[in-house]
Structure 1
Amino acid sequence: MIQGIGVDTVDISRFERQLERTPQLNTRLFTAREAGLALASRAARFAAKEALIKALGGSHDLSWQDLEVPRTPKEAPTFTRTPALDRVLAGRGASTVHLSITHDGGVATAFVVIEGGTRFAAAESDGDDE
């Protein structure tokens, strides 16, 4: 069952200007394995992290370092299952995180779908919201 969906798009040139203005962002936003990647790849990873937070409905005290998207040239992109990310996913009954990332034409975009056996309690409605 789908528990959450998130999407994010990053303007790569704007992202580059932010990194140039605030160089410490590179080490704050990215793990050591991600930090040395090309600009467009880092923008796509930032979009992926933002999309995951949206799919989860918030950060749940996850740090940027807890959300790593390693370079896997021959496999589909995925998040490293860090202990903190596993804790948040397990707390929601989620078992799988699907990730798709791309960068082209000056933008980087990521889609995240979270699956599991039960729906988020916050996503359920008693019908009184209408």
Structure 2
Amino acid sequence: ANLAGRFAAKEATMKALGTGVRGVSWKDIEVVRAESGAPSVKLHGRAQKRAERLQVSEISLSISHSREYAVAFVVAQRDETP
């Protein structure tokens, strides 16, 4: 379930960036955990370039899974300050 949750997190990140699953490499999105256990996303390569182009200032990630299912929710926030 842990692997499925990370996969879902990467897919949700791709969709939040507006690229779908073919726009960036799976390897360009890293799912990491803070000491507290909270998951977060680190972007690399084309995913990072896409986020910069979109002026994404923060990516929030939530992962949940059961024995059979995994789901991830990603919000890409933009700083609208001029």
Q: Into which bin does the TM-score normalised by the smaller protein fall?
A: 0.7 to 0.9
CA distance in 2, matches of 1:83, 1:77: 20
**Which runs of structure 2 are paired with 1:78-117 in the superposition (5 Å)?**
78-117=40-79
Contact preservation (8 Å) 2:14, 2:23: no
Percent sequence identity over aligned pairs: 39
Partner SS, residue 58 of structure 2: strand
- 1:107–1:73 Cα change, 3 Å: farther
* Shift, 1:52, TM fit: 1.2
Count residues with an aligned counterpart. Answer: 79
Which structure 2 residue ranges, 5 or more long, are not aligned?
none
**Large movers: runs of 4+ above 4 Å:** none
Q: Could you list the per-position Cα deviations for residues 63-95 of structure 1 after superposition, in whole angstroms to 9, with x for gaps in the alignment?
A: 000011124452421112324322111100111
Which structure has the greater CA radius of gyration? 1
CA distance in 2, matches of 1:68, 1:51: 12
One-letter amino acid of the counterpart of residue 78, structure 1: S
Q: Could you list the per-position Cα deviations for residues 102-129 of structure 1 after superposition, in whole angstroms to 9, with x for gaps in the alignment?
A: 11141101000000124xxxxxxxxxxx
One-letter amino acid of the counterpart of residue 47, structure 1: A
Pick one of 47, 54, 62 that aligns with 2:24: 62
TM-score by length of 2: 0.80
Check if 1:51 corresponds to 2:19: no
One-letter amino acid of the counterpart of residue 15, structure 2: K
Counterpart in the other structure of 1:41: 2
* Shift, 1:55, TM fit: 1.4
Which structure 1 residue ranges, 5 or more long, are not aligned?
1-39, 119-130
One-letter amino acid of the counterpart of residue 66, structure 1: D
